[in-house]
Structure 1
Amino acid sequence: MKKQPLYQKYLSLKYIGWGLFGLVIFLSALLIGYFIGFNQVEDELVRERVQTQHLVKQIEQIAAIDEYSAIPSKTKEAAYDSEIKRLQKELQALLEQEHRREPLKPQHEYAPKEPKASPPPAAVRPKRLDGTQPKLVIIIDDVSYSRDVRAIQSTGLPLVMSFLPPSPRHSESAQLAQRQNRYMVHLPLEAIDFNDEEPFTLHVGDSEETIGKRIIALKQLFPNVRYVNNHTGSKFTGDSDSMEKLIRVLKKEGIQFVDSRTIGKTKVPEVSTSLGMRYIGRDVFLDHQDGVRNVKRQIKEAIEKAKHHGTAIAIGHPRPDTIQALIESKELLSEVQLVGIEQI
């Protein structure tokens, strides 16, 4: 509750005093007139008026002193209220701006204006020659919220979660990652055409020092990170100079880059080879088209690639259709060994 200023209390006291003394005079007049008589009442009234005037003057002096001294306090209070209102407006504006941004929607970037476009092709790889059981890695990108983790775990399959770095929209992603036995970081890189860029996205033209600071910061957020794959990045991964800087930094920090292949003309294979790093890239996108049936068809394709090459990497997102398709494909997936990237 807001405290009443002191000068207002004194002003209230002044009016109460006037009322009380008026009442005292009236009652005194009645009593004195009844017991003593009108002549004596007149003398008493004169005396009471003198006392009342004297008291009124004292109250006015006190009130005047309090009003004078209260001016700075009132000014400060007004300034304080004004500052609070200003901060409230700024906070409200920030909240409204943040609310206008919807929660992150797991999505592909390679063709934002053509939802039915085919994804960029996988890298060309040799046919498997040995008779070992084929291995399939299924990466689930854009993991950002606890609901994503719960959905992925509901499949009962050893899927690999790739977490986006924390942002105002998904501030707990790093904490969620650290609760997992294994995880990846979904590293935001610049796209050719994408209107929902993540904070701290690395851009073409960033210096190696800038890239290095970002990777070190990510290692602090994700202490056990050993693999990263690109979130968006069609422009960045298509630029040789940018990828050279990034892979040099990652190699120094003991991190392997996994190419999501969001662009057909990716420079990651040649840059990785030139810097003595193994190239690992996505073979199949599971959910570039909506619908459980479409995702199941892609799961089958990923299994076939794993059988043909011995290994394969599929990438999906924590969408309801994807999760349901994975659950319904458990028998089909038993034809391969689901593993982490470190096992291929």
Structure 2
Amino acid sequence: MTKTTGLWPVLFLWGFFAQQVHAQPPVTSQAVIGIIIDDMGKRLETGRRVLALPGPVACAFLPHASHTRELANQANDHGREVLLHLPMDSVDGRPLDAGAVTLQMTKSEFVGTVLENLQRVPHVIGVNNHMGSLLTRHPGHMRWLMETLQHQGTLFFVDSRTTRATVALQVAEETGVPGIRRNVFLDNSHDKKDIAFQFDRLVALAREQGTALAIGHPYPQTLAVLEQRLPQLAKMGIRLVPVRKLIEQQQEGEKTWQAYWSPSRRDAKNSKPSL
């Protein structure tokens, strides 16, 4: 009978080190968040208060708002990302803002409206939806939108997720438009305690999954919370980054997971040394 007792320590050590290598994908660096302030362009005073916030808070402008062009230029001067906040059909039938795209439009009308809105927002580098709980669940109209953005070259799309039935991000991925989804709404409630709770939830999500994106509005209560909390991020081990950087980091994370779960990695994980 062949003695194998001396092999057990070797097998134990091999299994231990294999688990260390394969149990987890490479750990990402510091957790990061992104923040977008919607409904920009309506008021100069609150718009300038947004631009005074510390860090790269992105600004999403309504295309026909009175001060969109002026504030978008100022946002660009401050190094802030400028997005088109594109009005879309909603299921609750709320009145639509000027420049809205709707389910009743032909493709020509739809694309023409999107292009006109993009022209109204200087320095635009991305788009997110204003309302849209109806339109974002329709793949045909979302394809019109994403193909239009894709033809512009470098625009990205943020799905505000005003409905769980949205297909917007899925269609963006299918058409090659860089995209990301909103994780947290900061201010569905205007109470400062509730806004602070949502900010803490944003931070917790970033720590859990590496990245997280929040959307808020230029309400006085929201801005007060951000003015207080944003300077504390560094001490919390959290970094605020531009939305495009957040998209890139998420894409890198997806590539890491795909590589980690590739057949070659699984084969290596499940292989055993021959006795």
Q: Which of 14, 20, 37 is equivalent to 1:140?
A: 37
- Match of residue 152 from structure 1: 50
Give unpaired runs (5+ residues) of structure 2: 1-23, 247-275
Secondary structure of the corresponding residue to residue 36 of structure 2: strand
Structure 1 residue 339: deviation in Å? 1.2
For residues 3-41 of structure 1, the C-alpha deviation after alignment (integer angstroms, 9 at most, x for no partner) is xxxxxxxxxxxxxxxxxxxxxxxxxxxxxxxxxxxxxxx
Q: Is the 8 A contact 1:128 1:310 kept in 2?
A: no
RMSD: 1.9
Extract structure 1 runs of 4+ deviating beyond 6 A. Answer: none
Give 2:219's match in structure 1, choosing from 319, 325, 328. Answer: 319
How far did residue 236 of structure 1 move?
A: 0.5
Measured after TM superposition, the shift of residue 273 of structure 1 is 2.8
The CA distance in 2 between the partners of 1:228 and 1:131, in whole Å, is 27
Aligned-pair identity in percent equals: 30
2:184 is aligned to 284
Deviations 1:36-78 (A, max 9, x none): xxxxxxxxxxxxxxxxxxxxxxxxxxxxxxxxxxxxxxxxxxx
Aligned ranges 1:1-344 → 2 under 5 Å: 129-144=26-41, 145-166=43-64, 170-181=65-76, 182-254=81-153, 255-334=155-234, 335-344=237-246
Whole-Å separation in 1 of the counterparts to 2:143 and 2:230: 39
Cα distance, 1:311 vs structure 2: 1.4
Secondary structure of 1:155's aligned partner: coil
Q: Which residue of the partner structure matches residue 48 of structure 1?
A: none
Rounded to whole Å, the distance in 1 between the matches of 2:239 and 2:220 is 24
Q: How many residues align?
A: 215
Q: With the length of structure 2 as denominator, give the TM-score of the two structures.
A: 0.73
Distance (Å, rounded) in 2 between the aligned partners of 1:131 and 1:310: 7
Q: CA deviation at 1:331?
A: 4.8
Task: Judge conservation of contact 1:142–1:186 (CA < 8 Å) in 2.
Answer: yes
Q: 8 Å contact 2:40–2:61 — kept in the other structure?
A: yes
Residues 1:321 and 1:293: Cα distance change in structure 2 (over 3 Å): same
Structure with bigger strand share is 2
How far apart are 1:272 and its partner, in Å?
A: 2.0
Q: Do the aligned partners of 1:142 and 1:164 also contact (CA within 8 Å) in 2?
A: yes
- C-alpha contact 1:233 1:262 (8 A) present in aligned 2: yes
Q: In 1, Cα distance between the equivalents of 2:205 and 2:25?
A: 10
Bigger radius of gyration, 1 or 2?
Answer: 1
